[in-house]
Chain A
Amino acid sequence: EAGVVQSPRYKIIEKKQPVAFWCNPISGHNTLYWYRQNLGQGPELLIRYENEEAVDDSQLPKDRFSAERLKGVDSTLKIQPAELGDSAVYLCASSAGTGWYEQYFGPGTRLTVT
């Protein structure tokens, strides 16, 4: 069974440029999560989808961040414009549902903003 796929794995951009990250969850997983992990810290949830609906986006900085999961499968997270403080690893995870289901994480995208 394929795991959570993310691309790109690494991205270097200049500040004020836009950037997008893509995630394909495990087949059949209807719940998808985006996390941000700053250096030396644990991941922090940005947004959670159940199918195509964003059910928890309270931690997403909506002035510059956006996300979509149009068909309830893969998802894209966008930053526009990027700031130096956005440098981090962006992790995508999926689960078969909510409640006790464990989350499966992708390898992440390491973003460096210069």
Chain B
Amino acid sequence: DAKTTQPTSMDCAEGRAANLPCNHSTISGNEYVYWYRQIHSQGPQYIIHGLKNNETNEMASLIITEDRKSSTLILPHATLRDTAVYYCIVRVAIKAAGNKLTFGGGTRVLVKP
């Protein structure tokens, strides 16, 4: 699976949009971008995933650049409960790959009032 690079930490203001970048310059054509987050003392939580089109769900939006070498997770209106470590993971989403998630260090996001 391709390696990802994320900022170690970032702060954002409550009520504002939070834009979390992820670099995955070695991504292959059949690899998806997944985002998970981990709130303190909880297990990781799935947020969203995409291949090349932008995706949106009730939690967030995922913007993937045309060359697929980077992506941005957008939390449209950050709340204090969004304070967490956010992991960007790139992996092949086929049965033979076994659904393995390789977590990096993630971005520690602190939402401030």
Contact of B105 with A99 in the complex, beta carbons under 8 Å = no
Determine the distance from Cα of A48 to Cα of B97 in the docked complex, in whole angstroms: 12
Contact of A99 with B99 in the complex, beta carbons under 8 Å = yes
Helix, strand, loop or mixed for chain B's interface?
Answer: loop
Of the residues B41, B44, B101, contact of A45 by C-beta under 8 Å = B101
Binding site for B on A (CB under 8 A): 4, 31, 41-45, 48, 55-56, 91, 93, 95, 97-108
Give the nearest-CB partner of B89 in chain A: A42
Contact of B95 with A99 in the complex, beta carbons under 8 Å = yes
Determine the distance from Cα of A96 to Cα of B95 in the docked complex, in whole angstroms: 12
Contact of B103 with A42 in the complex, beta carbons under 8 Å = yes
Contact of B43 with A48 in the complex, beta carbons under 8 Å = no
Q: Mark B28-71, 1 if CB is under 8 A from A, else 0.
A: 00001010000001111110010000000000000000000000
Helix, strand, loop or mixed for chain A's interface?
Answer: loop
Output the least CB separation between B91 and chain A (Å).
Answer: 10
Output the least CB separation between B56 and chain A (Å).
Answer: 16
What are 7 A-B contacts defined by CB distance under 8 Å? Answer: A4-B43, A48-B98, A98-B97, A99-B93, A99-B94, A99-B97, A105-B45
Instruction: Name the interface size band of chain B.
Output: 20 to 34
Contact of A42 with B49 in the complex, beta carbons under 8 Å = no
Contact of B101 with A98 in the complex, beta carbons under 8 Å = no
Determine the distance from Cα of A43 to Cα of B49 in the docked complex, in whole angstroms: 19
Contact of B105 with A56 in the complex, beta carbons under 8 Å = no
Output the least CB separation between A69 and chain B (Å).
Answer: 16
- Does B7 count as interface, using CB distance less than 8 angstroms? no
Output the least CB separation between A100 and chain B (Å).
Answer: 4
Q: Chain B contacts of A98 at CB under 8 A?
A: 95, 97-99
Determine the distance from Cα of A45 to Cα of B41 in the docked complex, in whole angstroms: 18
Contact of A43 with B103 in the complex, beta carbons under 8 Å = yes
Contact of B41 with A56 in the complex, beta carbons under 8 Å = no
Determine the distance from Cα of A106 to Cα of B101 in the docked complex, in whole angstroms: 15
Say whether, besides A43-B103, A56-B100, A99-B93, A107 and B87 are in contact (CB < 8 Å). no
